[in-house]
């Protein structure tokens, strides 16, 4: 077994990687069941691919920030363990595909050499914290949200309150009211505000996409920056306790907020106040407040062959920064995919000629920051050599799409294939839309909306459609979504379903009608609202006829074989483990983790481990009776009802467990609470052993 400790200074990270390697060995030996192992690897960024025997690795890059050294490291890892391709996601992560499971500990250890983690990039955890890619340079922003996104990432990484939730949890930080980090579709969204000179945030809660999109509610109009981490912690505690755990399709925070109502939810959040590890949490912004230091270099002399093209590039891809004399350069990355040879050259450019920083965007692009104005011609020439000077950054021709059936288990139809075809249509037939930033096209390969199709002006969702006894790949056409701003957004209407091969024609129908029927200076959304959904249904209806399909219509984009609608088991939020023995084993582990945290004076963490142990232990016993265990709150109620006369405690079980809500996490309280958890675990395991023994004797 490789000694990662010699490579990694941080003992917590070293232990994490060694634990993964040990668990992989146990899994191969058949000593850990598939469901339990899946949950563990997902929380470490390892996601099963559509292709058998290989994994997708998701690299967690908070708010998309990447240095030259980190990009070099990611490129090296991709070349060593994969195929040299990097994929930017719509949550500012990088994914590497086709990695062998047994190689993942080595890969992770190498990434950690440059402070890059896989931890909690997937699974039922707090996912990557996203932010506006222009944070820190935006002329309109009241302040830089980057340090706050960084602090949230650091505080909740490996935090016991968010390791085994019912579903994933997404957080975003928008730098301005334009809401470019999409607060209205996140579980928690923060929008930077100033209130009489004080820094703070407007907070949105309970948003989400998927098959049932829901706009977030305004939780509060302003909260000071030192209160955001305690608030997030309280929300996560409530979600962990009351969130659905059995019905996966109803387990996101948006359903809990919808079910009990915002007022009741906020009340539960306030009740967690006493138990929090910090009542306020000061966030250090010093690293982000430093003056930008650029390398002193001689400006390279370059010759621009076509000034018209160069000026168009400056118009569409170059953004003036709030720092005088500095500019950001947007790079349009087709489908979010780029290769390691270009990544290395890009890393060299930002190290030598900029401020050694780029940001990945939520539209799967790259933004180079802090470039001197006199260096813009040089960057244009160098980026053009890499194929990175294509105009139209963040415009209509810059289509967002998920990987779809290329690699994803849940993909129904090819989202990348239709994207390529639509981009051809736009480039060849509608060149005047090259710099149109009023219309967005987004594409997902299934209803889960990783390509964010449900909030696009023009969206396409991969589906299947029947024609006689055959099945063809299809697209649901959605229209009318978009960002309104300041936490408000609108979701697209599902207009009509058409065969996938007619997607390009549908785009032509829409753009031609818009061009001929729009009123003076009318935006696409206003035109859509004026015409209404039924108009567009009638417009596109001829394309929905399946009685005249040809052989090519039964083949998906990029394929020469007949389409088969095959969908695997999704892994994006893990699997709930309901095995009694596994739960009791995990309860024992939690008690040991509680004791270890107690020794380190991490009282809040220790108490939460103890709390989770009690809930797991109670759930294990309820499962032997086939009782409901949908939420932690239900588990506590049902256990008290069914086992209070069998498991004798000093107080009713609910009071016994909910001590965590009513006490500050002091050393005195936490010590007793951990002892209570161990006492309860012993009582339950003794009872279970006794009842099982009696049952066996009766059968004998």
- Going edge to edge, which strands form the sheet with 198-205? 130-131, 171-174, 188-195, 198-205, 217-224
Q: Do the domain assignments include residue 562?
A: no
**Same-domain pairing of 99 and 223:** no
Q: Do the domain assignments include residue 29?
A: yes
**Same-domain pairing of 649 and 530:** no
- State what percent of residues in the chain have pLDDT above 90: 80
- CATH number for 430: 3.30.413.10
**Same-domain pairing of 408 and 531:** yes
Residue 567 pLDDT grade (very low, low, confident, very high; cuts 50, 70, 90):
low
Phi-psi region of 165 (alpha: psi -120 to 50; beta: other; left: phi over 0): beta
Total structural domains within the chain: 5
- Going edge to edge, which strands form the sheet with 458-467? 400-401, 441-444, 458-467, 470-479, 493-499
Residue 698 pLDDT grade (very low, low, confident, very high; cuts 50, 70, 90):
very low
What pLDDT does 6 receive?
A: 53
Residue of 450, 573, 593 whose CA lies nearest to 43: 573
Question: Quick one: DSSP state of residue 57?
Answer: E
Q: 675 CB contacts (<8 Å, ≥6 apart)?
A: none
Q: Do the domain assignments include residue 159?
A: yes
3-60 pLDDT, tens per residue?
555 567 888 999 999 999 999 999 999 888 787 788 889 999 999 887 878 999 999 9
DSSP per residue, 283-298: PP-HHHHSPP-----P
What pLDDT does 374 receive?
A: 96
Counts of helices then strands in the chain (DSSP H, E): 22, 22
Q: 503 CB contacts (<8 Å, ≥6 apart)?
A: 418, 421, 422, 460, 475
Q: Do the domain assignments include residue 563?
A: no
What span, in angstroms and rounded, lies between the C-alpha atoms of 471 and 553?
10
590-613 pLDDT, tens per residue?
999 999 999 999 999 999 999 999
> Is it the case that residue 697 has pLDDT exceeding 50?
no
List 360's β-bridge partners, or say none. 366
Tokens of 242: 């009351």
Domain endpoint, select from 262, 288, 314: 288
Whether the CB-CB separation of 496 and 465 falls below 8 Å is answered with no
**Same-domain pairing of 406 and 545:** yes
Domain endpoint, select from 537, 554, 571: 554
Q: What distances in angstroms separate CA 158 from CA 2, 4, 49, 174, 254, one per listed residue?
A: 23, 19, 25, 24, 24
As a whole number, mean pLDDT of residues 104-117 equals 96
**Same-domain pairing of 415 and 540:** yes
What pLDDT does 423 receive?
A: 93
Question: Quick one: DSSP state of residue 29?
Answer: T
Domain extent, residue 229, equals 130-288
Q: Do the domain assignments include residue 390?
A: no
Phi-psi region of 275 (alpha: psi -120 to 50; beta: other; left: phi over 0): alpha
- Burial label for 286, CB within 10 Å (0-12, 13-18, 19+), is exposed
- Burial label for 209, CB within 10 Å (0-12, 13-18, 19+), is buried
**Same-domain pairing of 313 and 276:** no
What span, in angstroms and rounded, lies between the C-alpha atoms of 483 and 543?
28
Q: Is 499 helix (H, G, I), strand (E, B) or coil?
A: strand
Largest Cα–Cα distance in the chain?
92
Cα angle, residue 190 at apex, residues 187 and 193 outer, rounded to 5°: 160
Structure-derived torsion over alpha carbons of residues 249, 254, 258, 259, reported in degrees to the nearest 10: 50
Q: Do the domain assignments include residue 28?
A: yes
Q: Is 569 helix (H, G, I), strand (E, B) or coil?
A: coil
> Is it the case that residue 257 has pLDDT exceeding 90?
yes
Task: Count the alpha carbons within 13 Å of 497 in the hemisphere toward its beta carbon.
Answer: 12
**Same-domain pairing of 103 and 57:** yes
What pLDDT does 696 receive?
A: 46
45-67 pLDDT, tens per residue?
999 887 878 999 999 999 999 99
What pLDDT does 568 receive?
A: 52
More confident residue, 449 or 320: 320
- CATH number for 11: 3.90.480.20
What pLDDT does 420 receive?
A: 94
> Is it the case that residue 485 has pLDDT exceeding 90?
yes
More confident residue, 508 or 577: 508
Cα angle, residue 137 at apex, residues 132 and 142 outer, rounded to 5°: 75
**Same-domain pairing of 370 and 424:** no
Mean pLDDT, the chain, rounded, equals 92
What pLDDT does 531 receive?
A: 96
What span, in angstroms and rounded, lies between the C-alpha atoms of 245 and 631?
6
Domain endpoint, select from 288, 321, 345: 288
What pLDDT does 410 receive?
A: 77
289-302 pLDDT, tens per residue?
998 989 889 999 99
**Same-domain pairing of 618 and 678:** yes
* Element of type H or E holding 351: helix 340-353
- State what percent of residues in the chain have pLDDT above 70: 96
Report the Cα–Cα distance between both ends of the chain, in Å, rounded: 46
Q: 171 CB contacts (<8 Å, ≥6 apart)?
A: 126, 127, 129, 130, 152, 186, 187, 188, 189, 190, 232
> Is it the case that residue 569 has pLDDT exceeding 70?
no
Q: Do the domain assignments include residue 573?
A: no
**Same-domain pairing of 616 and 691:** yes
* Element of type H or E holding 483: strand 482-485
Residue of 255, 390, 265 whose CA lies nearest to 331: 390
**Same-domain pairing of 528 and 494:** yes
> Is it the case that residue 208 has pLDDT exceeding 70?
yes
- CATH number for 591: 1.20.120.330
Residue of 543, 534, 599, 571 whose CA lies nearest to 42: 571
Residue 102 pLDDT grade (very low, low, confident, very high; cuts 50, 70, 90):
very high
**Same-domain pairing of 270 and 163:** yes
What span, in angstroms and rounded, lies between the C-alpha atoms of 413 and 404?
7
Say whether pTM exceeds 0.75: yes
What pLDDT does 52 receive?
A: 79
> Is it the case that residue 360 has pLDDT exceeding 80?
yes
As a whole number, mean pLDDT of residues 75-101 equals 96
Buried b (16+ CB within 10 A) or exposed e, 235-264: bbbbbbbbbbbeebebbbbbbbbbeeeeee
Q: Do the domain assignments include residue 474?
A: yes
Residue of 652, 654, 650 whose CA lies nearest to 675: 650
């Amino acid at each position: 077994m490789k000694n990662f400790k010699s490579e990694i200074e941080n003992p917590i990270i070293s232990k994490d990687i060694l634990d993964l390697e040990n668990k992989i060995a146990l899994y191969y030996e058949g000593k850990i069941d598939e469901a339990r192992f899946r949950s563990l690897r997902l929380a470490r960024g390892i996601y099963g691919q559509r292709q058998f025997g290989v994994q997708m690795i998701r690299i967690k890059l908070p708010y998309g920030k990447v240095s030259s050294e980190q990009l070099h490291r990611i490129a090296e890892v991709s070349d060593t363990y994969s195929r040299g391709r990097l994929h930017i996601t719509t949550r500012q992560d990088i994914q590497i595909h086709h990695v062998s499971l047994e190689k993942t500990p080595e890969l992770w250890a190498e990434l950690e050499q440059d402070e890059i983690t896989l931890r909690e990039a997937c699974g039922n955890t707090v996912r990557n914290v996203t932010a506006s890619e222009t944070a820190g340079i935006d002329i309109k922003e009241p302040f830089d949200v980057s340090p706050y996104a960084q602090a949230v990432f650091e505080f909740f990484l490996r935090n016991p309150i968010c390791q085994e939730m019912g579903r994933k949890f997404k957080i975003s930080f928008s730098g301005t009211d334009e809401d470019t980090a999409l607060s209205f579709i996140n579980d928690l969204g923060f929008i930077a505000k100033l209130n009489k000179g004080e820094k703070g945030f407007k907070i949105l809660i309970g948003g989400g996409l998927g098959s049932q999109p829901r706009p977030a509610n305004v939780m509060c109009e302003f909260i000071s920056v030192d209160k955001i981490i305690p608030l997030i912690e309280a929300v996560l505690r409530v979600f962990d306790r009351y969130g659905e755990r059995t019905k996966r399709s109803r387990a996101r925070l948006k359903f809990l907020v919808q079910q009990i109502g915002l007022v009741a939810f906020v009340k539960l959040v306030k009740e967690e106040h006493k138990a929090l590890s910090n009542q306020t949490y000061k966030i250090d912004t010093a690293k982000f407040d430093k003056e930008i230091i650029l390398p002193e270099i001689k400006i390279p002399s370059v010759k621009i062959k076509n000034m018209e093209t160069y000026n168009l590039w400056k118009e569409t891809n170059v953004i003036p920064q709030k720092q005088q004399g500095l500019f950001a350069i947007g790079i349009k990355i087709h489908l979010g995919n780029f290769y390691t040879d270009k990544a290395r050259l890009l890393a060299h450019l930002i190290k030598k000629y900029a401020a050694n920083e780029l940001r990945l965007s939520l539209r799967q692009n790259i933004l180079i920051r802090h470039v001197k104005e006199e260096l813009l011609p040089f960057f244009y020439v160098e980026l053009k050599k890499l194929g990175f000077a294509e105009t139209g950054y963040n415009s209509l021709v810059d289509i967002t799409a998920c990987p779809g059936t290329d690699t994803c288990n849940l993909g129904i139809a090819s989202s990348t294939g239709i994207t390529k075809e639509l981009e051809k249509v736009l480039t060849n037939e509608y060149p005047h839309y090259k710099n149109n930033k009023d219309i967005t096209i987004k594409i997902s390969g299934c209803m889960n909306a990783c390509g964010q199709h449900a909030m696009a002006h023009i969206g396409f969702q991969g589906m299947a459609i029947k024609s006689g006894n055959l099945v063809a790949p299809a697209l649901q056409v959605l229209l009318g979504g978009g960002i309104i701003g300041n936490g408000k957004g609108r979701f697209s209407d599902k207009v009509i379903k058409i065969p996938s091969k007619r997607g390009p024609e549908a785009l032509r129908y829409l753009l031609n009608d818009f061009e001929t029927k729009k009123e003076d200076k009318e935006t696409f959304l206003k035109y859509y609202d004026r015409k209404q959904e039924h108009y567009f249904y009638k417009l596109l209806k001829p394309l929905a006829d399946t009685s005249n399909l040809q052989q090519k219509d039964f083949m998906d984009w990029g394929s020469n074989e007949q389409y088969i609608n095959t969908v695997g088991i999704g892994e994006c939020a893990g699997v709930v483990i309901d095995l009694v023995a596994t739960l009791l084993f995990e309860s024992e582990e939690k008690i040991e983790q509680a004791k270890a945290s107690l020794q380190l004076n991490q009282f809040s963490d220790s108490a939460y481990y103890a709390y989770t142990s009690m809930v797991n232990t109670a759930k294990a016993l309820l499962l032997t009776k086939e009782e409901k265990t949908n939420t932690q709150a239900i588990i506590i109620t049902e256990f008290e009802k069914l086992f209070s006369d069998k498991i004798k405690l000093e107080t009713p079980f609910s009071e016994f467990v909910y001590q965590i809500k009513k006490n500050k996490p002091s050393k005195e309280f936490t010590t007793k609470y951990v002892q209570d958890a161990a006492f309860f675990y012993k009582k339950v395991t003794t009872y279970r052993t006794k009842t099982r023994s009696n049952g066996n004797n009766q059968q004998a």
